[in-house]
C-alpha cells in the first residue's frame, strides 16, 4: 500500500474516534486487522517501543519467568517486541476478533481473550500478572479511564503496570482526558494502590496525517506519554 493510501486509511481511523459505540470501533479494527502492522509501521507508530523500553529500564525480575497481560493487544506488536527481549509468557485481551486472530498467528500467546474494555470486565484474575501493559488504547473515545483500576487489580503485588496515552486530537477533550487520567493515577497513589516509577512525555508518538503530510519526511507527529507504576505490596 502506498503512503497516500495509508494516510487515507488513517484519516478514517481518526474519524472513528467520533463514535461512542465500542462495537463500531471494534468493527473498524476488524476490517483493518490484516493490514494493521504494515500501515502503522509506515506511520511511525512509536507507542510499543516507547512502552517496552520504559518497562525494561525498570524491570528487575526474570523476563523469562514473568507472566505478561497484554491489554488491547491488537495484532501482537508489544508481545513481539517483548519476546525479542526475553519475555516468554503472554495473555492477550482485545475487543476485535480479527486482531485476536492476527495475534494468534504470532504463536506468542498462551491465551487470547475477547473483551470490549469499559463495557465488559477485564477477563483477568486479580493479583495474577507480573506485568500488565496497555499501549495505544488510552485516548478520548476509546478505553475509558475506569479500566486503569482493572489493570492494577490484575497485577501481582510488586508487579508493574505500563500504559501509554496518545494525544490523537488537538482539542479540549484531549487535554481534559489527560487531566482526568493523571488525576486518577494520583488518586490511586494516594489510596496506596501503587507508586509511580516513571512517566515520560514524547512529541513523536504517531504521525499526524491531518496536517497534510504525504510521506514520513514531511510529517509532523502527535504527542503522547508512557506511564509506569508499581503495584503496592499490601
- What pLDDT, in 10s, does the model give residues 78-121? 999 999 999 999 999 999 999 999 999 999 999 999 999 989 99
- What is the rounded CA–CA span in Å between residue 204 and residue 159? 28
Q: Can you give the pLDDT at residue 1?
A: 43
Can you list the alpha helix ranges (DSSP code H) found in the chain?
3-15, 22-32, 36-42, 47-56, 77-84, 97-105, 147-154, 172-190
- What is the rounded CA–CA span in Å between residue 144 and residue 53? 25
Sign of CA dihedral 97, 102, 105, 110: negative
**In the predicted model, is pLDDT for residue 15 greater than 90?**
no
- What is the rounded CA–CA span in Å between residue 222 and residue 226? 14
Inter-helix orientation angle 3-15/22-32, to 10°: 170
Model pTM? 0.89
Q: Take residue 75 and report the three cell numbers written for it.
A: 495484532
Task: Return the percent helix, strand and coil in the chain, to nearest 5.
Answer: 40, 30, 30
Least confident of 140-149, 150-159, 180-189: 140-149
Q: Take residue 36 and report the three cell numbers written for it.
A: 494493521
Location of C-alpha cell 526474570: 62
Q: Can you give the pLDDT at residue 178?
A: 93
The domain defined by 3-231 carries CATH number 3.40.50.150:
yes
Beta bridge partners of 162: 133, 228
**In the predicted model, is pLDDT for residue 60 greater than 60?**
yes
190 contacts 136 by C-beta, under 8 angstroms: no
Least confident of 19-28, 93-102, 220-229: 19-28
Amino acid at each position: 500500500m502506498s503512503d497516500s493510501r495509508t494516510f487515507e486509511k488513517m484519516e478514517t481511523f481518526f474519524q472513528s474516534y467520533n463514535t461512542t459505540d465500542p462495537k463500531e470501533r471494534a468493527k473498524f479494527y476488524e476490517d483493518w486487522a490484516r493490514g494493521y502492522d504494515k500501515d502503522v509501521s509506515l506511520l511511525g507508530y512509536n507507542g510499543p517501543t516507547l512502552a517496552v523500553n520504559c518497562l525494561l529500564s525498570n524491570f528487575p525480575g526474570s523476563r523469562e519467568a514473568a507472566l505478561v497481560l497484554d491489554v488491547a493487544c491488537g495484532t501482537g506488536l508489544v508481545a513481539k517486541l517483548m519476546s525479542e527481549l526475553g519475555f516468554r509468557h503472554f495473555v492477550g485481551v482485545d475487543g476485535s476478533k480479527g486482531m485476536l486472530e492476527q495475534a494468534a498467528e504470532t504463536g506468542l500467546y498462551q491465551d487470547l481473550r475477547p473483551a470490549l474494555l469499559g463495557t465488559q470486565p477485564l477477563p483477568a484474575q486479580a493479583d495474577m500478572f507480573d506485568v500488565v501493559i496497555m499501549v495505544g488504547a488510552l485516548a478520548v473515545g476509546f478505553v475509558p479511564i475506569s479500566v486503569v483500576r482493572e489493570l492494577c487489580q490484575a497485577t501481582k503485588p510488586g508487579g508493574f503496570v505500563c500504559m501509554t496515552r496518545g494525544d490523537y486530537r488537538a482539542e479540549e477533550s484531549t487535554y481534559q482526558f489527560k487531566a482526568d487520567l493523571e488525576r486518577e493515577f494520583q488518586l490511586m497513589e494516594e489510596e496506596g494502590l501503587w507508586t509511580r516509577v516513571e512517566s515520560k512525555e514524547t512529541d513523536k508518538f504517531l504521525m499526524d496525517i491531518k496536517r497534510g503530510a504525504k510521506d514520513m519526511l514531511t510529517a509532523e507527529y502527535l504527542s503522547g506519554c508512557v506511564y509506569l507504576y508499581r503495584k503496592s505490596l499490601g
